[in-house]
Chains A and B, each alone.
Chain A
C-alpha cells in the first residue's frame, strides 16, 4: 500500500485553492474598474472593504478563497501527519479524496448559486470526512 497516496488529494486541494485565487481576481479586477475604483491610488484597504462596493456574486469568489484558507489548513496538517506516520494509504487516502471533492463542490456552490442550505450540507459532509481523518490520526499517534 502506498502510504503517501494521501498526498494526491492534498496537492489537488492546494491547486484548487490557486484556481479559486485566479477566479477571484479574474472577476474582481473587472468589477473594480466598472465600480471606478483605482487600485493604484489605494492605501491600506483590505479585501473585506469590497463587500460594500462590489456586487455580491463577485465577492462570493473571495469569500470562498478565504474559506479555503480556513478548515483545509487542518486537513493539510492531518494528511501530512498521516503520511509521515505511514497511515496515508487505503481508506485514509479515499476519505481525503472525498474531502477534496466535497470542498470543490462547496466552492462551486458558493461562487454560483450560493444557496446557504446546500452549502451547509456539503460543508457538514466534508467536516465529517475530516473528523474521520482526525480520529484516525488521534488513534495512530496518541492511543498507539
Chain B
C-alpha cells in the first residue's frame, strides 16, 4: 500500500474525473437520441436543465459527479491537515482508503442501480470514516 496519506486523495480526484467521463459518454448519445443539438441550445442552458429531459439512468451519473464535488472536498482538506500536522498514521491511512473505496462503491451504485437505502448505507459508512478523520485532524492540529 502506498505510504502517503495523500495517495487515497489522488485516487478519489482521479475517480471524480472518470465519473465526469462517464457523464459525457452517456449524456451525449442521450442528447442525440432526444434530438437536442448543442449548437442550437438556448444561451445559458445548464446540466441541471436536463433533469426533466433525459432518462433518469443518464442523469444518475451526473448526480454522482456533482456529489463527488460536495463532501469529498472536506475529505481533501482533512487529509491535507493531517498530512501537514503529523497525523499520518496507520489508522488515518486506513480510514482514508476506506473512505475512498466506499465513495467509489457509492458512485457505482448510484450510477447503475441507485436503490436509495443501499446508497444511504454506503454514504453513512463513508461519512463515519470522514467523521473519525475530522476528529483525528482536530486532535493532530490542536495537540
Min distance, Cβ B109 to any Cβ of chain A, angstroms: 21
Known: A135-B14, A138-B10. A116 touches B38 (CB 8 A): yes
Min distance, Cβ A14 to any Cβ of chain B, angstroms: 14
B66 and A70 within 8 A (CB): yes
A60 and B44 within 8 A (CB): yes
Total number of B residues with any Cβ neighbor in A under 8 Å = 29
The residues of B with any CB-CB pair to A shorter than 8 Å are 2, 4, 6-7, 9-11, 13-14, 16-17, 20, 24, 38-39, 41-46, 66, 69, 73, 76-77, 80, 83-84
The residues of A with any CB-CB pair to B shorter than 8 Å are 56, 60, 63, 69-71, 73-74, 76-78, 80-81, 84-85, 113-117, 120, 124, 127, 130-131, 134-135, 137-138, 140-144
- Taking CB atoms, residues of chain A closer than 8 Å to B17 are 74, 127, 130-131, 134
Indicate the member of B6, B38, B39 with the most A CB atoms within 10 Å: B6
A84 and B6 within 8 A (CB): yes
Min distance, Cβ B111 to any Cβ of chain A, angstroms: 18
A76 to B69, CA, bound (A): 12
Q: Which 10 A-B pairs have the closest CB atoms?
A: A77-B76, A116-B41, A137-B10, A141-B7, A73-B73, A134-B14, A114-B43, A141-B10, A114-B44, A70-B69
A84 and B10 within 8 A (CB): no
A117 and B2 within 8 A (CB): no
A71 and B9 within 8 A (CB): no
A56 to B45, CA, bound (A): 10
Chain B residue with the shortest CB-CB distance to A132: B17
Chain B residue with the shortest CB-CB distance to A57: B44
A73 to B12, CA, bound (A): 12
Chain A residue with the shortest CB-CB distance to B74: A73
B69 and A73 within 8 A (CB): yes
